[in-house]
Structure 1
Amino acid sequence: MSPHRSVKTVLYADLKEMGDVPVRQPFPSVHADRIDPFLLLHHLQVQVPDDRPVKHAGVGPHPHRGFSPVTFILKGGVHHRDSRGNNSVVWAGGTQWMHAGRGIVHSERPPEGIFEKGGEQEMLQLWVNSPAARKMEQPAYFALHAEDTPVVHSVDGLVRVQVIAGELNGTQGPIPAITPVNTFVARFSRGGRFYFPLPPAHNAFIYVVNGVVKVEGGSVYTALHAVVFGNDGEGIGIAADEDSVVLVASGQPLNEKIAANGPFVMNTETEVLEAMRDYQMGKMGILIEE
């Protein structure tokens, strides 16, 4: 088997409006469906409005069931509250990983103090599907701060990789993903190179947040592009033509039927309807923001 995976497809992150929040979404799109077990990727970059309290900005209370919404904070911070009583702020370099399980209501607002840090928010949100056997487990929330995130460096010191979930070169990520998943945030200085060994059975992609990178076995890719790989190699080699930030993700495919409607991702339409009913009946809890 080749040491380098081939490039299967390249996806541009089109701009979409999610309510009044503009986000970029490389997948799913008209060009590509989900990348099992990854359901969706959003890239948000906004200046927080300073003409209203931060508790009225961002994303207000909304439900989820059946998957894990994961937020990688690149700039600024996020204040998370949910119907299970979790209440935390995670700043740039940190990650919020929530197993929605049988159902949870949460909000994601800018934190107090964000204007002292420039008032900008940039983050990625990746939805990771849960297998049918674990969709109705109790929800769980994990706040991983930058200082608690393990880092792997390249030999030349030009690449710094945060290991959030999974394993990289013997370093284990702290997040207990419920299926085999690797998520890394890599920051390249110009000229930096790094090889990411990945399980051949995993589906894998990278997303170029900013900068320009060259992929071994592929081509040159600029910001706002997701590169999806085939399952024909032992890993992915990346070299940076300029300072760059890249999300690297791989996961064991679930190969299960998906029925989805908005914030609910289940296996049958009946289960989606049950999720809607349970949310309306308050079975996912209630979030009252103070």
Structure 2
Amino acid sequence: MKKQASFSTQGSRADLGPLTIQRMLPNRYASAVGPFVFLDYVAPAIKNSITKNGMGAHPHRGIATLTYILQGEVEHFDSAGNGGKIYSGGAQWMKAGNGIIHDENFNYDSQTDSKYVQGFQFWINLPAKNKAEKPAHIAIQANEVPQKTLPDNSGTIKVVVGNFEDLGSKIPNYSEQFLYHIQLEPAKQFSFKIKKEIEVAAFLPTQKATLNEVEFQKGEFVEFDREAGEIEIKNTSETAIDIMLFGGETYAEPIVAEGPFVMNSQQEIIGAYRDFYAGKYGEIKNIN
């Protein structure tokens, strides 16, 4: 049985400095997809519009941030002393845990001929027992992202988060979760089975695609029902397309989100702000 689309949306504009950003999650229909509580899509931006002075240092608590860059490079700095730079196709994961301040520089990829920046930032909600842990950071280059060719040479699947068949990401799993980057060749299709009660959504950054016989346009975010079933993706375009497929098991604990903090109660939100203003998250010392 094929899963049904619950809704689709184009999100809302949430530009940041020189970057054109489309906020896909939360949206008017949903506040989370599995453990994912936030998704910003950074639309392609040309080299000359990018700053090297960071996007603005800010705190987080209770989540892990995930930056996945399609084109360009991203340099990370945080108050725990972590740093790293990823290039086109790479990912950076940062567990905010009990509190951290971070900043990122977006720029064109100095290792390739690409003069664009394009990518995603997700927030992954941590279980209550993990929200008080110390911060951590992982930088994963493109050649470290597990991937394989799809049957019938239909394209490729990259496992940015979670597992797929014999592939597993380096990013820790605190619950059942997945983020796949699927590239599908023209006139090809790929089917993916989802268990009951697993929340799943698709985002189409580059081209239209047909999902379970319904055509969705470039820039659409599509969430599906929670029944067990299949998602069939068809590429009716003349060029290869990209599909981001992500989700996981329902977050079973209370969710209270305010600003950059995602906790389990309003009291914990108050504590997150109190600790931040008291300077308990430290400061970034290694940014240019």
* Structure 1 length-normalised TM: 0.90
Of the three residues 28, 39, 56, the one matched with 2:26 is: 28
Task: Report the more deviating stretch, 169-178 or 17-26.
Answer: 17-26
Where does residue 59 of structure 2 map in the other structure?
A: 63
Counterpart CA distance in 2 for 1:175 and 1:196 is: 22
2:200 matched to 1:204? yes
Counterpart CA distance in 1 for 2:107 and 2:15 is: 22
Where does residue 79 of structure 2 map in the other structure?
A: 83
Unaligned runs of 5+ residues in structure 2 are: none
Matched-pair contact (CA < 8 Å) for 2:4–2:224: yes
- The one-letter code sitting in structure 1 at the alignment partner of 2:76 is H
Deviation digits for residues 226-250 of structure 1, max 9, x if unmatched? 1101111233221111221111112
Of the three residues 222, 225, 234, the one matched with 2:229 is: 234
Counterpart CA distance in 1 for 2:113 and 2:273 is: 38
Q: 1:92 to 1:45 in 2, by over 3 A?
A: same
Of the three residues 219, 241, 244, the one matched with 1:244 is: 241
**Identical amino acids, percent of aligned pairs:** 26
2:176 matched to 1:180? yes
Q: Give the alignment of 1:76-225 within 5 angstroms.
A: 76-111=72-107, 114=110, 117-216=113-212, 218-225=213-220
| TM-aligned CA deviation for residue 115 of structure 1 | 9.5
Deviation digits for residues 206-264 of structure 1, max 9, x if unmatched? 11111121112x50111111110111123322111122111111211112222211111
Counterpart CA distance in 2 for 1:141 and 1:247 is: 23
| TM-aligned CA deviation for residue 179 of structure 1 | 1.5
Deviation digits for residues 39-98 of structure 1, max 9, x if unmatched? 11110125356488x431x41211110011111101111001111221111011111111
Counterpart CA distance in 2 for 1:142 and 1:186 is: 22
Counterpart CA distance in 2 for 1:154 and 1:251 is: 22
| TM-aligned CA deviation for residue 26 of structure 1 | 2.1
C-alpha RMSD of the superposition: 2.1
- The one-letter code sitting in structure 1 at the alignment partner of 2:226 is N
- The one-letter code sitting in structure 2 at the alignment partner of 1:40 is F
Task: Report the more deviating stretch, 21-30 or 43-52.
Answer: 43-52
Q: 1:48 to 1:273 in 2, by over 3 A?
A: farther
- The one-letter code sitting in structure 2 at the alignment partner of 1:223 is K
Matched-pair contact (CA < 8 Å) for 2:198–2:248: yes
2:260 matched to 1:260? no
Counterpart CA distance in 1 for 2:204 and 2:19 is: 21
Where does residue 276 of structure 2 map in the other structure?
A: 279
Matched-pair contact (CA < 8 Å) for 1:65–1:101: yes
Counterpart CA distance in 2 for 1:239 and 1:168 is: 20
Q: Aligned with 1:35: secondary structure?
A: coil
Q: 1:32 to 1:252 in 2, by over 3 A?
A: closer
Counterpart CA distance in 2 for 1:47 and 1:111 is: 9
Counterpart CA distance in 1 for 2:111 and 2:248 is: 36
